[in-house]
Amino acid sequence: MASRDAFGNESSVDLLPEHNYVHYEGCLVDGPLKTWLGKNSQALRLLDAPVLTCTIDHLMPATESTRGGHQIAPMLRLMTSDLVLDEVDDFSQEDLPAIARLVHWAGLLGSRVLLSSATLPPASVQGLFLAYQQGRQAFQAHRGHGQSSAVVCAWFDEYGSEADFYDEGETFLARHTQFVSRRVAKLQAIEPRRRAKVVPFEPDLTAAPTPKQKESICYEQWATSCLDYALQLHQQHHTTQPSTGKKVSFGLIRMANIDPLCRVAQWLFTHGAPDGVHVHLCVYHSRHPLLVRTALEHTLDQVLQRHHPEAVFEHPSIQQALTTSSVQDHLFIVLATAVAEVGRDHDYDWAIVEPSSLRSIIQLAGRVKRHRTERCPDASPNVWLMSHNLKAAQGQRLAFVRPGFESASFPMASHDLDHVLVPEQWQPLTATTGVLSFVYSVFSSSSKPAKGATALGICMVPREPIVASARACSISATATLVFKGEVPRRVAVTA
């Protein structure tokens, strides 16, 4: 490949990089495109699938390609598909210009774009609206519809829908804020299922002269604090097994990074639990072999379906764990990284959180009492936020990073949650402050557009759960958007 590049024959290389794999068993109808693609089987699958679910790196070459030919397949896909971007605000600040270019390109090709997130800030919605608007304006002009920059913007939720034309970012943002504010007011009437409190974690590292010793002491004190807090939460938020009277709770301890998580898990396993308590520990992170992770997630998906609270006692693994031990208190603890925050339909009784970002806290809170509607007592918060994360406790200058959004250009003045957050952002951490919803911003063609017009919709339909302060981010939900009178388009979903 290198030798062909040296002679300028980049067009002869494969259309997709070697590390990209696409799995689809269908095929295109015979025609010039299929003939032209020839033996590029990966590119064929990328274009064939009616619904393509992939990571965003499969599509980014459409605008970011540095090698000849790699932009062709994703460009062809965007020409014939709508685009769904999941958790777009999870990308770093450095990635946002590239994301905006992709959204602009989708508008340039006439695609609709769906942005899915629980924590998409209004500024990001506005910025991506402007990017899409500029691309769609060129698309309209090339089809003889003039230079109109008006975009049909629609907002949808379970309370109704609204739509109008917008051609300026400021007026669009003002309208978006109005809709979000009204939705927040309606959601405030819902009984809070989650309440949060900040609990102290400031280890004494004065006796540790070296960074390695500081790290070791910090991990040990973190594990000790987690166990102590877990025992307190268990007493406040447990379920009693009807046949035996045993107290059972399912908790989530969320940590930012895998290596510290494994160290803490080893400490908990080695030191055990107090007399009369049995801790069942599950370690869940992204480095598990795929086969192991699949089996683990399958079990968690079954056990943590809590629509019927007592059904959990019928699961074979839970029955076995309870019958093999005579103690009365059983804590089933999932020690996990950010993989437990999104994409998992799990219901925990309580959670302990190592803070990385407000977005992360909001996402994780949606896994607590996700399927049950009982009100959380004011005096018994079920989401406990550590005042400092491990990086901050060790004195690192940048603590809310990897994961997190802090940077050397914008360092935090404090890493203490009591100083970083204001009470309105997490008291209560329930539907009264915004119920964790998933924001869906949709850029699309209108059902009956004026000449040269395009459309943007913000769909908000409740998805079981959830959280967040309107001050922290937008409100959201799960939604399906259908514009009447339009030919259905294929979909490309990225994460």
Reported as a single tens digit per residue, the pLDDT across 333-372 is 999 999 998 888 999 999 999 999 888 888 899 899 999 9
Is it the case that residue 486 has pLDDT exceeding 90?
no
pLDDT score, position 462: 36
**139 and 255 together in one domain:** no
Q: Which two tokens stand for residue 71?
A: 């932009």
Q: Return d(Cα 158, Cα 141) in angstroms, integer.
A: 36
- Owner of token pair 């949709």: 442
pLDDT score, position 495: 60
Instruction: List, in sequence order, every residue forming a beta bridge with 334; answer none if it has no partner.
Output: 252, 282
Is it the case that residue 399 has pLDDT exceeding 60?
yes
More confident residue, 261 or 26: 261
Q: Return d(Cα 361, Cα 358) in angstroms, integer.
A: 5
**143 and 271 together in one domain:** no
**64 and 105 together in one domain:** yes
Count of domains forming the chain: 2
Percent of the chain residues topping a pLDDT of 70: 77
Q: Return d(Cα 195, Cα 207) in angstroms, integer.
A: 36
Q: pLDDT averaged over the chain? A: 79
Name the residue among 105, 15, 19, 18 with its Cα closest to residue 67: 15
Last residue of a domain, one of 409, 429, 449: 429
pLDDT score, position 262: 96
Is it the case that residue 466 has pLDDT exceeding 50?
no
Q: Residue 337's domain is classified under what CATH number?
A: 3.40.50.300
Instruction: Evaluate the CA torsion angle 323, 329, 335, 338 in order and state its sign.
Output: positive
Phi-psi region of 276 (alpha: psi -120 to 50; beta: other; left: phi over 0): left
pLDDT in tens, 94-149: 888 999 999 999 989 888 888 777 667 788 888 999 998 999 888 888 887 776 77
Q: Strand pairing of 383-386 and 196-199?
A: parallel
- Range with the poorest average pLDDT among 29-33, 207-211, 465-469, 488-492: 465-469
Q: Which two tokens stand for residue 306?
A: 């809590």
Instruction: Evaluate the CA torsion angle 458, 461, 466, 471 in order and state its sign.
Output: positive
Q: Strand pairing of 454-460 and 81-86?
A: unpaired
pLDDT in tens, 2-49: 444 444 555 555 655 555 555 544 555 566 666 666 666 677 777 777
User: What is the band of 327 on the pLDDT scale with cuts at 50, 70, 90?
Assistant: very high
**395 and 374 together in one domain:** yes
Specify the pTM.
0.76
Is it the case that residue 196 has pLDDT exceeding 80?
yes
Domain span holding position 115: 2-189+437-494
Q: Return d(Cα 458, Cα 179) in angstroms, integer.
A: 9
What are the residues whose beta carbons fall under 8 Å from the beta carbon of 335, sequence distance 6 or more? Answer: 253, 255, 261, 264, 265, 268, 281, 282, 283, 284
pLDDT score, position 29: 58
pLDDT score, position 381: 94
Q: How far is CA 129 from CA 176, 296, 445, 477, in A?
A: 11, 39, 13, 19
Helix 316-323 × helix 290-303 angle, to 10°: 80
**213 and 262 together in one domain:** yes
Average pLDDT over residues 252-277: 95
Is it the case that residue 235 has pLDDT exceeding 50?
yes
**139 and 222 together in one domain:** no
**374 and 449 together in one domain:** no
Is it the case that residue 414 has pLDDT exceeding 80?
yes
Q: Which two tokens stand for residue 154?
A: 């629609």
Q: Is it true that the peptide bond before 200 is cis, omega within 30 degrees of 0?
A: no
**N residues, the chain:** 495
Burial 83-98 (b: 16+ CB within 10 A, else e): bbbbbbbbeeeeebee
Average pLDDT over residues 41-63: 82
| Cα angle value 482/484/442 (rounded, 5°) | 35
Contact yes or no for 346/296 (Cβ under 8 A) = no
pLDDT in tens, 418-440: 998 888 778 767 443 433 333 33
Is it the case that residue 292 has pLDDT exceeding 50?
yes
Q: Return d(Cα 315, Cα 305) in angstroms, integer.
A: 11
User: What is the band of 393 on the pLDDT scale with cuts at 50, 70, 90?
Assistant: very high
Contact yes or no for 82/492 (Cβ under 8 A) = yes
Cβ-count burial of 482 within 10 angstroms (0-12 exposed, 13-18 middle, 19+ buried)?
exposed
pLDDT score, position 130: 93
Q: Enter the DSSP assignment of 36.
A: H
Last residue of a domain, one of 390, 407, 429: 429
Is it the case that residue 485 has pLDDT exceeding 50?
no
Q: Strand pairing of 439-444 and 113-117?
A: antiparallel
Q: What is the DSSP string of 428-485?
A: S-SGGGT----EEEEEE--SSPPTT-EEEEEEE---S-----TTTS----------TT
**98 and 226 together in one domain:** no
Last residue of a domain, one of 375, 399, 429: 429
Q: Which of the given ranges, 68-82, 404-418, 480-494, has the highest pLDDT on average?
A: 404-418
Residue ranges in 394-430 assigned as alpha helix (H): 417-420
**421 and 446 together in one domain:** no
User: What is the band of 398 on the pLDDT scale with cuts at 50, 70, 90?
Assistant: very high
Q: How far is CA 338 from CA 43, 81, 284, 335, in A?
A: 32, 30, 9, 10
**394 and 447 together in one domain:** no
pLDDT score, position 4: 45
Contact yes or no for 386/197 (Cβ under 8 A) = no
**126 and 257 together in one domain:** no
More confident residue, 243 or 36: 243
**81 and 225 together in one domain:** no
Which H/E stretch holds residue 136? helix 122-142
Q: Which two tokens stand for residue 347?
A: 């219901």
